Structures are given as C-alpha cells and as structure tokens.
Structure 1
Amino acid sequence: MDFVDAHCHIISEDLTSYPKAPIGGKQSEWAASRPVTAEGMLARMDETGIGQAVLVQATTNYGYDNSYVLDSSLRHPERFIAVGTVDPLRPDAAANLKAVAGEGGLSGVRLFTSGSTVPTQGEWFIAPETFPFWEQAAELDLPVCLQMRLGAATGQLVELLKRFPGVKVLLDHIGYPDIAASPDRAGADVAELGVHPGLHLKLTHRNLERLQDAGEQAGDFLTPVVEAFGAGRIAWGSNLPAAEQSLPDLRSLAEEVLAGLPEQDRQEIFAGTARRLYPFLGTHGS
C-alpha cells in the first residue's frame, strides 16, 4: 500500500541558519526535547515504508520563518513537499501568499490558531482583514491547514466555508473532537461539517489514540465521519515528532484503528487524499 505522511515536523540542528522564532515567543516541549531533522525524518520514513511526506512548519519553533521546510523540500523533492505558516492578517497577505506558493515554494500553508503554546482559541481567521488571503488561496487552489479546536470557534469555521466555498481547508487533528467523552456525539458533530465540500480532515494520533481507547465504539465515530466526508477527503498524518511514539508505531496505530474500512478507503486515507491535495507529490512520487 502507498503511504504519504500528510503531517510531520522537522527541526534543524543548525541554529545559525535556522534560528528559533516560535510563534508567541514560546517553544513547544516536543520541539525542545525530541526534535527530528530532515535527514532523521527520511531515515524514519525508510524504516517505516513511507515514500513521501508533507513537512508542516513547526510553528512552535520557527513561527513564520519557513526556511527549513522549504530548503528541505528543495533538497529532497522526490520525498518532501513543504507547508508553511503564514499570517493572513498582514496587509499584503494575498500578495505574500502568491509570492511564496507554487513550484519551488510552498505547496500549502497553515494557520496556527490554537495549540500547545497558544491555549486560547483564536477566531481571527475569519476576520474581514483575512478575506483577501482566502480569496487568493481559492484562486491559487492552495490547501490551507487550519490548526484549531472545534467548539466555540466551529461557527467561525462554518462561516469561512460558506463565504469561501472554493478554498480547500484541511482541519488539523480533525479539530480535536472529544472522542473520549462520546465517540458517537463527536462523530455526529464532525459529520455535520461534511456538507462543506472544501473541508478535508487530517487524521492523526491525537484522534487515533482516542479511537483505539474506544475499542468497539470507535465505529460510532468513524462510520458517520467517513460516510459524510468520504475517504477521499480524509488524510492520515503521523504528527512526528510531536507524537512521542516511533513512526512505525504511529503507522501501526493507524492501520489497526482503520482495519475495518475497505481497502480502497484505507488507500485514500493513507495516500490518495494527500496526493490530490498536494499535486507536487505526484511529480516525483510512485
């Protein structure tokens, strides 16, 4: 089976060429304690049988400086593409997006609205000042990863998807639905969002661990979500090294939880969706 890791992070040992500049001024714990270089990621991918990966900017280490993911993707174009973090509120956000995207540049961008170092969920991603950014993303057909938590900000997400239906939004970690509290309630809440054709889901260990814990009830979440979105709008990502497990263990976790899905659906989740979202993967991929 073809595997593309749609969400992993790299951090350089060269602090001179790639200085730390974490968003909010605070480096995440994992970035400080278990960083993985581009070369280290390649070694782990080879060990795990993963052909290609999407390098998602380590925002909690580099902020808006996308140099390392870009340089690494240019050094290894047959294995990596780069997704960088940008600021959609800057006055020239649309022009900046156009300048950094495309061949030799970013294959996608990420908005970091919430996370380990940004505990308060930001809702600025639908502020009127961001509209030129979203319009440009739609024009470029450039996927936008959205790191956010469903809940209070879900209304803003829905507003965004309605206002800009041509934008491809990839929801990191599926927006952290509360699977542990109730797999069926969480599944129903996520499935409701499936009516928006531009919305895609990124399935990572943060969801898969909760589904593993749920045991037989995992289907109460997976069944409605896969039915609502289709496997073709769901992509698997390891989240290494933010995830503490090894890459082989993370792949095994995903295979175990998704074992009940048809092979065609699993192939979509493990590679097909990512290849459609990021066409530059196909330039050198299998």
Structure 2
Amino acid sequence: MDVVDTHCHIISEDLARYPRAPIGGKQSEWAASRPVTADGMAARMDEAGIGQAVLVQATTAYGYDNSYVLDSRRRRPERFVAVGTFDPLRPGSGARLLDLVGDNGLAGVRLFTSGSTVPTQGEWFAAPETHDFWRTAEEAGITVCLQMRLGPATRQLVEVLERFPGVRVLLDHMGYPDIAASPARAGQEVAELAANPGLFLKLTHRNLERLRDAGKEAADFLDPVLAAFGAERITWGSNCPAAEQSLPELLALARNVLTGLPEPAQQNIFAGTARRLYPGLGAARN
C-alpha cells in the first residue's frame, strides 16, 4: 500500500549551522533525548516501508527557523516535502507566506498554539491581525497545520473556518479529543466540526493509542468521525520521534486500529488525502 507519513520531525546534529531556538525558549524532552536527522528519518522510512513523508518543523527545537526542513527537502525532493512553523501575527504575513511556499519552498505551514512546551492554549490564531495570513492561505490554496487543543479555543477555530471557508486547515492530532474519557463523546465533538468543509484531520499515535486501549468502544469514536468527514478528509501521521515507539511500530499501530475499514478508506488515510493536501508529493507510488 502507498504510505505517506504526514507528521514527522527531524533535528540536525550540526548545532552551528542549525542552532536551537525553541519556541518559548524551552526545548521539548524528546527533541533533546531522541532526535532524528533527515538521513536517519529516511532510513527509518525504508525500514517501515514508507515512501514519502511530510517534514513538520520541530518547533520545540527550532522555533520559526525552518532552515533544516527546507534544506532536507531540497536534498531529497523525491522523499520529503516540508511544513514550516509560521507567525501570522507579524505584519505583512500574507506576503511573507507567499515568499516561503512554492518551488523548493514550503509545502505548507504550521501554527503552534499549544504543545509540550506551550501548556496554555493560545487563541491568537483567530485574532484580526492574522486575517491577512488566512486570506492569503485561502486564495493560494496553502494547507495550514494547526496544533491546538479542542475546548475553549474551538470557537476560534470555527470562527476562522467560517470567515475563510476556502482555507484548508489540517488539525494536528485531531485536536487531542479526550477519547480515553469517552470515545462516544469525543467522537461527537470531532464529528460536529465536519460542517466546516475546509477542516481536515491528522490521525496520529496520540489518538491511535487511545483507540487501541478503548477496544470495541473505539468504533464509538471512529464511526461518527468517518461518517461526518469521510476518509478523504483524514490523513495519518506518525509523530516520529516525538512518539517513543519506532516508526515501524507506529505504522503497525495505525494499521491495526484501522484494519476493519474498507480498502479505499485506508488508501485515503495512509496516502490519498496527503497527496491532495500536498501536491508536491506527486502521484501515488506503487
């Protein structure tokens, strides 16, 4: 099966060329303890049978300096596309966005509003100062990854999607729905967001581990989400090496949880959706 990993991180061993500059001044534990270079990621992909990957900027290592993912993309254009962290609050964000994407540039950008080193969910991504960014992303067809947690900030997410209905937003880790507490309630929470056609979901180990642990109740989450979004708006990402498991183990986890889905749905989740979100990946590989 064609497989694209839409969420992996790389960190260089060359501190002089790629100095650390983590967002908020704090480096994540995984970035310090188990970094993986671009060469190392390519080797892990070969081991797992993954043809291509989206290099998502390691924000908790490099902040807004996207040099390493861009350079790695240029060295291996047949294997990688790059998604860089972006600050939409800076003046002229629309023009800056256009400067960064395109040939040999970023395939998309990521807004890091919450994470391991940013414990308080930021709601700034919907501020009026960001509208130039969102309007440009909408008009240019640029996929925007959004790292956020569903909850109080869901209102801001919906506000953006309604104001810019043509924009493509890929929600990292599905917004961290609380599957462990109640798969059914979490599934309903996520499914309700499907009314916004520009929203796509990134399914990672942070969701898949909870679904595995839920056993038969995993269907209480997956069924409404798949019915609402369709597999055409869901894509898989490993989160390697932030996840502790190996890349082959992370792919096996996803395949095991999704084993009951029809083949066309699995093809979309494991590659088809990714290729539509990031045309720079090219056509499917056999």
1:97 matches 2:89: no
Task: Confirm or deny: 8 A CA contact 2:2 2:285 kept in the other structure.
Answer: no
1:110 equivalent in structure 2: 110
1:230 equivalent in structure 2: 230
Task: Give runs of aligned pairs for residues 201-216 of structure 1, distance below 5 A.
Answer: 201-216=201-216
Q: Distance in 1 between matches of 2:38 and 2:272?
A: 23
Task: Confirm or deny: 8 A CA contact 2:107 2:142 kept in the other structure.
Answer: yes
1:28 equivalent in structure 2: 28
> Which amino acid in structure 2 is aligned with residue 247 of structure 1?
L
Q: Distance in 1 between matches of 2:240 and 2:112?
A: 17
> Which amino acid in structure 2 is aligned with residue 68 of structure 1?
Y
Deviation at 1:285, TM superposition (A): 5.2
1:269 equivalent in structure 2: 269
Task: Confirm or deny: 8 A CA contact 2:146 2:170 kept in the other structure.
Answer: yes
Would the alpha carbon gap of residues 284 and 69 (structure 1) be closer, same or farther in structure 2, given more than 3 Å must change?
farther
1:153 equivalent in structure 2: 153
Find runs of 4+ consecutive structure 1 residues off by over 6 angstroms: none
Deviation at 1:275, TM superposition (A): 0.3
> Which amino acid in structure 1 is aligned with residue 83 of structure 2?
V
> Which amino acid in structure 1 is aligned with residue 26 of structure 2?
K
2:5 equivalent in structure 1: 5
TM-score by length of 2: 0.99
Identical columns (%):
74
Q: Distance in 1 between matches of 2:68 and 2:171?
A: 23
Task: Give runs of aligned pairs for residues 123-138 of structure 1, distance below 5 A.
Answer: 123-138=123-138
Task: Confirm or deny: 8 A CA contact 2:56 2:69 kept in the other structure.
Answer: yes
1:19 equivalent in structure 2: 19
Deviation at 1:99, TM superposition (A): 0.3
Q: Distance in 1 between matches of 2:174 and 2:226?
A: 12
> Which amino acid in structure 1 is aligned with residue 277 of structure 2?
L
Superposed CA offset, 1:98-141 (max 9, x none): 10011110000000000000000000000000000000101110
Q: Distance in 2 between matches of 1:8 and 1:129?
A: 30
Deviation at 1:284, TM superposition (A): 9.0
Q: Distance in 2 between matches of 1:183 and 1:236?
A: 19
Residues matched between the structures, number? 286
Superposed CA offset, 1:236-280 (max 9, x none): 000000000000000000000001110110010000000000000
Q: Distance in 1 between matches of 2:35 and 2:155?
A: 35
> Which amino acid in structure 2 is aligned with residue 240 of structure 1?
C
Aligned-partner SS, 1:160: helix
Would the alpha carbon gap of residues 47 and 138 (structure 1) be closer, same or farther in structure 2, given more than 3 Å must change?
same
Task: Confirm or deny: 8 A CA contact 1:23 1:59 kept in the other structure.
Answer: yes
TM-score by length of 1: 0.99
Task: Confirm or deny: 8 A CA contact 2:2 2:284 kept in the other structure.
Answer: no
Aligned-partner SS, 1:255: helix
Aligned-partner SS, 1:280: helix
Task: Confirm or deny: 8 A CA contact 1:78 1:285 kept in the other structure.
Answer: no
> Which amino acid in structure 1 is aligned with residue 183 of structure 2?
P
1:143 equivalent in structure 2: 143
Aligned-pair Cα RMSD in Å: 0.9
Q: Distance in 1 between matches of 2:12 and 2:58?
A: 11
2:48 equivalent in structure 1: 48
> Which amino acid in structure 1 is aligned with residue 201 of structure 2?
L
